[in-house]
Every structure is written in C-alpha cells, then in structure tokens.
A and B are shown apart, each in its own frame.
Chain A
Amino acid sequence: MVESIQDRYARWQLHELLRRHPELRIVPADDLLVLRGDVAFRVVGPNEEYLEDSYRVEIVVPLDFPESVPMARERGGRIPATYHKLEEDFLCLAAPTELRIKLLTAPSLLIYVETYLIPYLYGYSYFAKHGRMPFGELKHGDDGIRQYLAGLFQSEDSKRAEDFVRCAAMKKRRANKVPCPCGSGQRLGRCHNRVVNSLRKRFGRKWFWTEYGMIMRSLSEKPRKDAVSKWLEKVPVAQLPPAQYGAA
C-alpha cells in the first residue's frame, strides 16, 4: 500500500521538528515541503566551546526524501558565497554521498536539521569568530567528494575513490577481482574487500549504482581512462539515474 502523506510526514518527524524549532514555518508549495524561518541553537562544540546563534533559513524537502536529500539556504545574508555552498546559494552541509547515506538510514527532518544544518551554522558562527573551522572541512569540488569517499572506504589514497562506489555496486565475486581502487596494486579481494563488502551488505548494490551515477554527474572532471576504469567498464552499467541534488 502506498504510504499516506500523513504517515510520511510522521516518519520524517516533521511534527517533532516544528515543536523543537517553532520559528520554522511550513510555506505551502506545490510539490515540495518548504520550511522557512529562524533556526536558533545553543551548541557546545569541540573543546566545550559554547555558542548561541540564530539564522534565517529556507529548507526545501523533495517529497521522495530520503531518496533525495533536502536542500537548505541561508536567507539572512550572513554566509558569503565563498563559504561552503552549492549552486543557487544552497548550503553544502556535507559531502553529497555522506548526506545521502546518513539520511537513508535515519530519514528524519529533525536529524537533518540538528545533525547537519545546525552544526553547519554553528561552524559558520565559529568560523566568523575564530577564523577557522570547528570540525575541519572537506576540500572544495571533486577533491572533496573523493576525500569523503576515501574516508568512507578507509582508503589513504583518494585519487580514484569513486571506484569504490562502483565496486560496491558490483557483485562480490566480480568486484573482488578488480584492482583495488586504493592504488595498492593488489586486487580488491586481497585489499579493501571487508569494508566494501560490509557497506554493500548494508545499503545494497542497487543503492550504490544510483549513488555512483550521482557521483559521476557531480564530478566536474571525469576520471582518466586507465587500467582500472577499462576493467570496470566491462561491467554492464544500467542507465545512470539523474542527479538528485542541486548540483545537477
């Protein structure tokens, strides 16, 4: 049976979000859930550093959340475009794959706001005060995407980190024969196979296929053709799904 909108909003913890952040208001919109208003917070960050602040934001939630992730904009004109942002002024709260993975396992708008949006806003308040980032930051652009993926797959080398996602989208037996994307020269079955297997088991090959498609679309510089990519191309790829977050 198709889930009703009522049940969907309950599963997303919309009511809890509105209760905890009462300055956020639903703005009627046709095929999105749009929330606008102030997000206020009091945060004890790293090294017990306490900050309180409030930002005017707009959060746009696609109705197929968590398959697609929400997007947030700061509306008070405080955060400059040179800070961590995507196209159209959307805030870049985390690496896209990370956001998708985390929200898939916890599809809650309250978690989105309190685990991603508020730490991001706290991060900016902290940055404005101290000139540095409280939680570190990813590199911008492609390098940042790969840096996150390398971390996810516990690889030191991030040059071809997107290939890990592709391996996770392949059947185990096949993937194990592929040269390990960490660049060790070993095949995956003798190298990073455990972490790939466990993530594959957790999210499923299909999810990684979709994710791979989205990553390939968001990488502005496509990877060089080398032995690994030639090898990987032998594996049939379903049509790449459309990118589902702002940076299409």
Chain B
Amino acid sequence: MNSSQHDLSQLLEIIIDHIDIPKSYYEKAAARHRSLGEWLHRSGSKVAAFDPDVRPQGSFRYGTVTRPINPEEVYDLDNVCLLRALNKGDLTQEQLKELYGDEIKAYAREHSMLAPAEEHNRCWRLRYADEVSFHLDTLPCVPELGEVIRYLLEQQVPSDLANRAIAITDRKHPQYRVVTLAWYTSNPRGFASWFEQRAALGRRRALAEARLRAAVEDVPPYEWKTTLQQSIQLLKRHRDTMFRHKLDVAPISMIITNLAAHAYGGETDLAEALQNIVDGMPQHVRSTSPRVPNPAHPAEDYADKWSKDSRLEKNFWEWHAAVQADLARLSTLLGRSTLSGQVKDLFLVDMTEEEVRKVGGEGTSRPSISVKSSPVLTIPTASKPWGRNG
C-alpha cells in the first residue's frame, strides 16, 4: 500500500464516521425483530402453531445503513417471517396475508404504534413512534417446494442459498385468492447469506492481518464493518448526494449492494477495496434480462424497472461515471486546501478542522487545484465563433 492510498483510506474512514449510524440503532433494530418474533410465538398467537421464524433483511442486516441526508427521513427495517410449518398448498396467498396481518395489526395496537399496520402488495408495514423514526416492512412467506429448489440448483445456485428460497404472497398475483402452487418465488434470505459470504472474505483477511482469533461467529455480520460494507455506505451516500433532488430515479441500494458484493475481492484496505469495487461493478451488469440478478434466485432482477423507465439505467451509468471520477479526484486533493469543500460537495459531510488536519489539508500546504492541474492545451488556431445576433 502506498502512502497516498493510506491517506485516502483515512479520509474515507472519516467520511464514514459522519454517515454511519450509532451502534444503538442496530441494536434497536435487532430488538424490534426479536420482539415481533416473541409476539408471534406467544400463547394465543394465531400463527404460533405454524412455527414462525423472523429474520432481519436489508441494510440493517448487511450493516450498510447510512444516515439519511434529510433528517426527517425514516429508517427502513425489513424482515422476513417464514411460517415453517405451512406449505403453498395449505391455503391461499390472501389467507396467509390476512392471517399474518391480524397478528401484525394486534401487535401495532399493543405497542402504541403511530398508525395501524398498513398493508402493501407483499408485506405489512409498522410505523414506530420513537425518538428514531423507523418503519418495519415484514414479509410473510412459506418454504418453497423441492421442485423449485431443484430448479434453482440447475441454475447453478449453490445449495445453501437455494434452500433458503421462499414462496411469497402478492396482491397483484392473478391467483391471489385461489389455492395454487403458483406463488411467486423470492430469495431474500439467500441473498443475505450470499452477501455475508462475500463480506466474510474481507473479515477473514482483516482478522488474519490483525492476528486475531476472535470468536468470528459471535459477532453479527452487521457489526463486522468490513471494507465491503464501508464501501457500500460510501457509494450509497454519494448516490444520495448526487440525486438529492431526484431521489425517485436514483440507482437503488439493492443494485449497488449486489454489484459491490460481486466486485469485492476481500481487500482489507478501504481505498483499494472501494476502487476495485467501483471498477469492477460494470462487469456484473448483464446486457440482457435479468440485468442485475439475485445470485440466490437468478430470475429475480433487481434492475427489472430499467426496461420500463430508461432514465433509471441512464442514471445508474451516470452515477457510476461520476463516482469513478470523484474517487480519482479525491486522491489528488489530499493535502489540498480544497479537500473539505469537495468532501462536502460529494458526500454532504462537514469535516471538522481536526479531521482536515489529520489528512494533511491544512489550507496552506498546497495551492488550490483547479487551474494549476488543468490540462495545458496548445491551440494555434481554432473555430471562429459565430453568433446569431448581429
């Protein structure tokens, strides 16, 4: 590792300090999932007999949550509730959704939620009344059948991931109210497991470098703080900043998370990891559908909306071009007086004076970059300008 890379890593760590959330938020999120799981298992619960298993999903599970730019913004919690003792043939999707919904509504009432539980196409949403605003999307599902698992195995999905496939309810499914085996398949648990395997690449190396034989398994993945997780936080924050006026058409976190995990090689230096991730992401976008498949369920395309709205793909590539250029720029700005201004522009992060000193940008060391590092062009002749108005 050269020294400028070391300095860049240090700068990136500083940015992460600003965009990371307190550990207590993760703990609070974990407590929410536990509390819901206990509720579903209590005596008197209508679903207790079906052996519900609540597992967190999403960025709180991956350890990639970033502070929202707008402080009013709500944190999204996700979980999957698998009713292990049920099967697709036992009931209709609607019956499962409502059976589960009754329990969720009762939970909302008992826990003085801001509002009653809200039904979405696939999940139920709970809005917590707390000092930290959360909402929790909880997805009821049943285990997927053996033939679907076998099909996934044929698609080269490793068995530990394929076995996590689930059957979900969807109000838009044509046979929502009929007993049928034709439920939609999904595999968020398989994705999470795959993501953790990718992150573990960096964790193993980091532990080996630190000569730690820590109880690896005891620490939940969201606490690993691997360079993969940190890189995703930086990429998401860069995206939030670039698209702060157009958030509805910004590249979605799941695409960034998926591609970053693919491109990650377990680098233990943050700057090196981020650079390799950014450079490697495009290779994992397929030119035909599914463009960005779930590795645990290849038919599930995280970029399925790209074909419906061309702005989404365009914005993804523009964001990627921007983040690539901005990363290159940051390393040239180390030790320059303009560094903190650029960090503010790119990440909406206000570095403290101490942090600026830490990365060598004391204001006087090296002059501003813009003109002095601009290309020198020799232009003996050029086009003659024209104008419409005489």
Are A and B physically bound partners?
yes
- Residues on A facing B (Cβ under 8 Å): 4-6, 9, 14-15, 18-23, 25-26, 28, 30-31, 33, 38, 40-46, 52-54, 63, 81-87, 91-96, 98-99, 102, 114-116, 118-120, 122-123, 133-141, 144-145, 148, 247
Q: How far is the CA of A99 from the CA of B319 in the complex (A)?
A: 28
Q: CA separation between A8 and B329, bound complex, in Å?
A: 23
Not counting A45-B379, A135-B382, a sample of 11 additional A-B residue pairs whose C-beta atoms are within 8 angstroms of each other reads A5-B314, A22-B332, A28-B243, A28-B249, A30-B249, A85-B389, A95-B384, A119-B379, A135-B379, A140-B390, A141-B387
Q: Are A119 and B383 touching (Cβ within 8 A)? A: yes
B380 (CB) vs chain A CBs: closest residue: A46
Q: Which residues of A contact B322 (CB under 8 A)?
A: 18, 25-26
Q: Contact at B375–A42, with CB atoms within 8 Å? A: yes
Which one of B246, B329, B383 contacts A93 once the chains associate, using CB atoms below 8 Å?
B383
B371 touches A52 (CB 8 A): yes
Are B374 and A40 in contact (CB-based, < 8 A)?
yes
Q: Which residue of B lies closest to A29 (CB)?
A: B246
Residue of A nearest to B315 (CB): A28
B321 and A26 within 8 A (CB):
yes
A93 touches B385 (CB 8 A): yes
Contact mask for chain B residues 353-385; partner A; CB cutoff 8 A; 1 contact, 0 none: 000000000000000001100111111111111
Q: Does B377 lie within 8 Å of A144, measured CB to CB?
A: no
Query: Are B386's CB and A94's CB within 8 A?
Result: yes
**What CA separation (Å) do A122 and B383 show in the bound complex?**
12
The complex places the Cα of A145 from the Cα of B386 at a distance, in Å, of 8
Chain A residues near B287: list those with CB within 8 A. 4
**Residues on the A chain within 8 Å of B389, using CB:** 81-82, 85, 140-141
Cα–Cα distance between A43 and B374 once the two chains are bound (Å) = 10
Interface footprint category on B? 35 or more
A-B contact pairs, 28 of them (CB 8 A): A5-B310, A9-B318, A14-B321, A15-B321, A21-B375, A22-B326, A28-B245, A28-B318, A42-B371, A43-B377, A45-B379, A46-B380, A82-B389, A83-B385, A86-B387, A86-B388, A92-B386, A92-B387, A93-B385, A96-B386, A114-B377, A120-B385, A137-B386, A138-B384, A138-B385, A141-B389, A148-B386, A247-B388
| Whole-angstrom distance between the Cβ of B131 and the nearest chain A Cβ | 33
> Which of A22, A26, A148 has the most chain B CB within a 10 Å cutoff?
A22
The answer to whether the Cβ of B317 comes within 8 Å of any Cβ in the partner chain is yes
CA distance A159 to B321 in the complex (A): 46
Q: Cβ of B384 and Cβ of A94 under 8 Å apart?
A: yes
B282 at the interface (CB under 8 A from A): yes
- Distance, CA A47 to CA B380, complexed state (A): 8
> Taking chain A's interface residues, is the majority helix, strand, or loop, or is none over half, making it mixed?
mixed
B247 nearest in chain A by CB position = A28
A28, A31, A42, A96: the one contacting B374 at CB < 8 Å is A42
Give the chain B neighbours of A14 by CB distance below 8 A: 321
B28 at the A/B interface (Cβ < 8 Å)?
no
Residues of B within 8 A of A136 (CB): 384
Among B317, B326, B390, the residue within 8 A (CB) of A141 is B390
Residue contact B324 to A15, C-beta cutoff 8 Å? yes
B374-A92 in contact (CB<8A)? no
B377–A9 CB distance below 8 A: no
- When distances are taken between beta carbons in the complex, the residues of chain B under 8 Å from A94 are 383-386
How distant is the Cα of A40 from the Cα of B375 in the complex, in angstroms? 8
A30–B311 CB distance below 8 A:
yes
Q: Are A41 and B377 in contact (CB under 8 A)?
A: yes
Residues of A near B212 (CB, < 8 A) are none
Q: B376 to A42, Cβ gap below 8 A? A: yes
Contact, CB under 8 Å: B386 / A114:
no
Interface string of B297-315 (1 = CB under 8 A from A): 0000000000000110111
Question: A94 to B381, alpha carbons, bound, how many Å?
Answer: 13
Known A-B contacts A26-B242, A83-B387, A140-B390; the reply to A118 vs B377 at CB < 8 A is yes
- For the complex formed, measure the closest distance between the CB of A21 and the CB atoms of chain B, giving whole angstroms: 7
A28 and B322 CA atoms in complex are apart in Å by: 11
Contact A54 B371, beta carbon cutoff 8 Å: yes
**B328 in contact (CB, < 8 A):** yes
Q: How far is the CB of A231 from chain B (nearest CB, A)?
A: 29
Asked if A123 contacts B321 (CB within 8 A), the reply is: no
